[in-house]
Amino acid sequence: MRYWLMKSEPSEYSIDDLARDGFVAWFGVRNYQARNFMRDQMKVGDGVLFYHSTCAEPGIAGLAEVARLAYPDASQFEPEGKYFDAKATPDNPRWFNVDVKIVKKTRLMPLAEIRAHPELADMRILAKGNRLSITPVDPDEWNFILARL
Give me the domain span that covers residue 40: 3-144
Q: Has residue 87 been placed in a domain? A: yes
Cross-sheet strand order for the sheet of 96-110: 23-25, 96-110, 59-72, 47-52, 3-8, 134-137
Q: Has residue 28 been placed in a domain? A: yes
Query: Could you list the pLDDT tens digit for every one of the 149 residues in the chain?
Result: 999 999 999 999 999 999 999 999 999 999 999 999 999 999 999 999 999 999 999 999 999 999 999 999 999 999 999 999 999 999 999 999 999 999 999 999 999 999 999 999 999 999 988 889 999 999 999 999 999 99
Which amino acid is residue 134, in one-letter code? I
CATH number, domain at 49? 3.10.590.10
Number of domains into which the chain is organized = 1
Q: Has residue 63 been placed in a domain? A: yes
Q: Has residue 79 been placed in a domain? A: yes
Q: Has residue 149 been placed in a domain? A: no
CB of 17 closer than 8 Å to CB of 61: no
Q: Has residue 105 been placed in a domain? A: yes
Q: Has residue 113 been placed in a domain? A: yes
Q: What are 83-90's contacts with CB under 8 Å, separation 24+?
A: 83/27, 83/28, 83/30, 85/30
Gap between the Cα atoms of 64 and 104, Å rounded: 7
Q: Has residue 111 been placed in a domain? A: yes
